[in-house]
A and B are shown apart, each in its own frame.
Chain A
Amino acid sequence: MRWFETPSIDFNGKRKIAYILSAVLFIASLGAILTKGLQYGIDFRGGKEFVLDFEDPISVVELRSDLSEPLGSTPELKLFGSDSEILIRTDNEQEIAEVQQIISSTVREFHPDNPFIVVKTDVISPRFAEDLKWGALQAVIYAIVIIFIYILIRFRNWTFSAGAVAALVHDVVIVLGIFTILGDWVPFSLQIDQALIAAFLTIVGYSLNDTVVVFDRIRENSNVHKGMDFMPMVNKSLNDTLSRTVITSLTTLFVVLVLFIFGGEVLKGFSFALLIGIVLGTYSSLFVASSLVVELEQRTKQS
């Protein structure tokens, strides 16, 4: 079987369309993030989370109103996987044991026929959350800087570095935007926590992988076809590697989809981010990274 054996798609010719699409997505994402704010999970916000596993399904709305008064504020409640598992998030600042005691006794009082066990607790002090947030931010910044430098060294051309990094920022901002917009609509948690930072960096690594393969081909082609103009050569390189780009994206997409379906509730947000990130990463290495390199090369030649 062979797909895209000798394609001749005019990627760079269509780049204006890609620019518009990317600009719309990017601005919409940025707008969503700025107006609604990033939806931080417990890791970066602090607080207390408890997952209760009930014997029978239970109503989230009911449980929320049961707990509001004893806890002193309305807790956040979400289903955790099945409809008999509930995640309860509260900012109540009492000792962990006391908060858990309040939740347990209240739930027992209101639902005496539906026994439960506490299967997971997470308690993060706001100060610690602040540290985790700072660490995550540093990780993302360091990743981008190191990638810029590595590509600069390997390809000896800053426009390649700029193109690759721009594509990465493009991917991450849009994934963040989608998370912010979809957060209230999907039945699983899309809050930004440590696992999500890991997902982002994986997207960064993955998207970069695609981009680097294309760049590598551009470098090779520019040695073989010395007389060729830069833009058609980039286009040829994109076409040369298209089959590989699609196949790798597909196999990776398969496994991430598997992870999303079979990986359990803990990994839902993580694998959802990867799912969007891989589609975006493939798109951006085909349409954003090398197009930007072409633009930058043309500008620098002119000046």
Chain B
Amino acid sequence: MQGNGFKIGTIVAFLALTIYYLYPTVQYQLEQNYIEDLSASEAAQYTEENAEKLENLRSNILSLGLDLQGGMHVTLEVGVPQLIRELAGENADELLNDVIDVADQRSIENNSDFIDEMVAEFESRDPDARLSRYYRNDAMDITRRSTNEEIATFLKTQRQSALDRAIEIIRTRVDRYGVTEPSIVKQGQNRIVVELPGVEDKERVRNLLKGTARLEFRLAADADEFRSFVNQTYEYYDSFEQPADTADSVVNNQFNPLDEVLVPAQNPYLFGYATPDDTSRVMDLLRNEEVQRMLPRNTTVMWSANPLPGQAGEELYQLIGVRTQVELTGDVIEAASVQFDPATNVPEVSMSMNSEGARKWGRITGANIGKPVAIVLDGFVFSYPNVQTKISNGRSSITGLDGVSEAEDLVNILLSGALPAPLEIMEERTVGATLGAESIQAGLNSILVGLGIVAIFMIVYYRTGGGIADLALLLNIIFILGILAAFKATLTLPGIAGIVLTIGMAVDANVLIFDRIREEQRTGKTIKASIEAGYANAMSAIVDANVTTFFVAIILFSFGVGPIKGFAVTLMAGIVASLFSAIVITRVVVDYLTQTKKSAVSFG
């Protein structure tokens, strides 16, 4: 045993660390089992009394990936082109818009940086032109004379801070929504990865994440002008000839396509009503060049955010005529809360504005008594109440909501602040809790069966040596879990696959050693000398083989996302743990056995 003291010390230390890191996981599971056996009221009481202890344990357990516990994984992208366009504000001209469009396309095609492409495209149009004319900003030291390079740096900083701000806002929204252990991280220059375990209402979360929270107050369109626009549009389509190939009947080819998709309205501010399926077809008809020409100046149409019930119980959305000019934006909102209309008990969002907002709001309402003001959020009209009197205390409310949860989410979004740029969902993956539970079961079964088969094979083939390797293998799996817990890694289904794979490959080091020992024995060496030579000679092959696999795992880790990263992490942990257990642990056991029981160790 001489000389093995250090090895034994390391093993003990490693084991102690593993137990330390795995203790919360085991303890938490035991607590959960205990709580499950209690009745509902006892369970609630127990959880309440031990809240702190449970929370402490939970924050240190080996956490499961979304593919195992169920939940929602979303990758959002900050709309950089929109952000850059908005930064230019009123300075933006056709040239800039065109350059931005081209750069957007090109950066997607070439997988390159949007801002670099934009500068290159801008310079290719006129080498002497300066981007500074769009982005003058005294606070940021951007003057008329700033070079395009300086502007590029400035824009990149703006992009960076927009991303950081977006992450902050998303975090606030998710926290207010209430998700246990959400994870919100930056990915690359313009993406955010949000992981939300156990989320049920996907649509609600989607809106919560995406909503830019651009609240706008706009005046309704001029009633007379808008009415005549509606009539002209109907007249235009009255004379519209149905294309011959889609004609239902030859006799009646005079028809109005608007009638098919739109229910006419009496209200002078409404173009009409449409079912959710028809809204996009209505917009196609209105996008017609002739129709656009008839549209009154400074006027546009917007859909209502929530539907009204139609005569047959169908959902009908209203198409409302509003001004293009925005009178007031959500920046002025200081506080917001969910209130219930005392008469009808319908939820609404009540808002109060800062002094500047209140002043403007007073002026707007004062000048438009009797006319509707549209309250628009992210391009949809929530309500367009008629102004009764001048409102000078800066109070306003959003009605026409779809229930309490929408009101709560709206308050959440309004209070978290507006996103600096629109976010687009690039990737969304959800896994139901049942599928997750099935995957856990499948993973556990694979580990147990795999472990059993390999263990039996090793004993049959290598006898005592195999038994020792099996012991090492068992410890190996515990070590892997310990390493994962220590590094706060997440266990995913591919991660479990990595553990199963490690079971097969972990014995490799021992196979190399044992085969080498057998070889040395054949040359006539004593068992002791053979063991010594076997371990020594097998070492370089073991190191080379594992280092190369470790490289592969690192590459997987740096390029993979989500579950694949989990696979790479277990692979790495597996290599470290199996090297340790195959070389150090088996050696100590083999040495111990050969010294105490002389000939008892057989390598088959």
Cβ-based interface call for A213 (8 A): yes
A121 CA to B503 CA in the complex, in Å?
Answer: 31
Within 8 Å by CB of B540, from A127, A216, A240, lies: A216
Known: A121-B429, A267-B494, A270-B494. A1 touches B549 (CB 8 A): no
Across-interface contacts of A147 in B (CB, < 8 A) = 548, 551-552
Q: Indicate if the CB atoms of B203 and A97 lie closer than 8 Å.
A: yes
**Distance to closest chain B CB from A252 (angstroms):** 4
Q: Which residues of B contact A201 (CB under 8 A)?
A: 552, 555-556
Contact A96 B555 (CB under 8 A): no
CB of B457 within 8 Å of the partner chain: yes
Determine if A250 and B552 form an interchain contact, defined as CB atoms under 8 angstroms apart: no
Query: Interface majority SS on A: helix, strand, loop or mixed?
Result: helix
Q: Tally A-B pairs: CB < 8 A.
A: 219
A119, CB-defined interface residue at 8 Å: yes
A274 pairs with B501, CB closer than 8 A: yes
On whether the beta carbons of A134 and B111 are closer than 8 Å, the reply is: yes
Minimum Cβ distance to chain A for residue B472 (Å) = 13
The segment from A170-178, A190-198, A228-236 that touches chain B is A190-198
Residue in contact with A250 in the complex, picked from B450, B457, B522, B564, CB distance below 8 Å: B457
B416 close to chain A: CB less than 8 A: no
Q: Is B426 at the interface (CB under 8 A from chain A)?
A: yes
B427/A125 in contact, CB under 8 A: yes
- Is the beta-carbon distance between A267 and B493 smaller than 8 angstroms? yes
Contacts of B497 in A (CB 8 A): 259, 263, 267, 270-271
Q: Does A138 contact B (CB under 8 A)?
A: yes
Contacts of B435 in A (CB 8 A): 51, 53, 119-120
**Cβ proximity bits B524-560 to A, threshold 8 Å, 1 near / 0 not:** 0000000000000100110011111101110110111
- Tell me if B568 is interfacial: C-beta within 8 Å of chain A: yes
Q: Are A194 and B541 in contact (CB under 8 A)?
A: no
**Chain A neighbourhood of B515, CB < 8 A:** 241, 243-244, 247
Contact of B561 among A143, A194, A217, A271 (CB under 8 A): A194
Among A11-19, A22-30, A59-67, A203-211, the one that faces the other chain is A203-211
Interface residues on B, range: 35 or more
For B518, list chain A residues within 8 Å (CB): 2, 5
**Is B145 interfacial (CB-CB < 8 Å)?**
no
Nearest A residue to B453, CB-CB: A254
- Partner-contacting stretch, out of B221-229, B262-270, B505-513: B505-513
Measured between C-beta atoms, what is the minimum distance from B363 to chain A in Å? 38
Does more than half of chain B's interface fall in helix, strand or loop, or is it mixed?
helix
Measured in the bound complex, the distance between the Cα atoms of B75 and A159 in whole Å is 44
Residues of B within 8 Å of A255, CB to CB, are: 446, 450, 453-454, 500-501, 503-504
Q: Are A195 and B450 in contact (CB under 8 A)?
A: no
Contacting pair A125 B501 (CB below 8 A): no
Task: Please provide the chain B residues from 547 to 604 with a CB less than 8 Å away from any CB of chain A in the complex.
Answer: 547-549, 551-553, 555-556, 558-561, 563-564, 567-568, 571, 604
Report if B20 contacts A (CB, 8 A).
no
A residues near B559, Cβ cutoff 8 Å: 135-136, 138-139, 142
Interchain CA distance A138-B555 in the complex, whole Å = 9
Assuming A143-B552, A248-B508, A259-B500, is B446 touching A53 (CB within 8 A)? Answer: no
25 residue pairs of the A-B complex, CB under 8 angstroms, read A5-B518, A97-B203, A119-B434, A119-B435, A125-B426, A127-B108, A139-B558, A142-B559, A147-B552, A208-B549, A209-B545, A215-B544, A220-B537, A244-B508, A247-B511, A247-B515, A248-B512, A251-B507, A253-B504, A254-B453, A255-B446, A255-B504, A259-B446, A259-B501, A262-B442
Closest 8 CB pairs of A and B: A264-B442, A255-B504, A252-B504, A139-B559, A205-B552, A119-B432, A128-B426, A255-B450
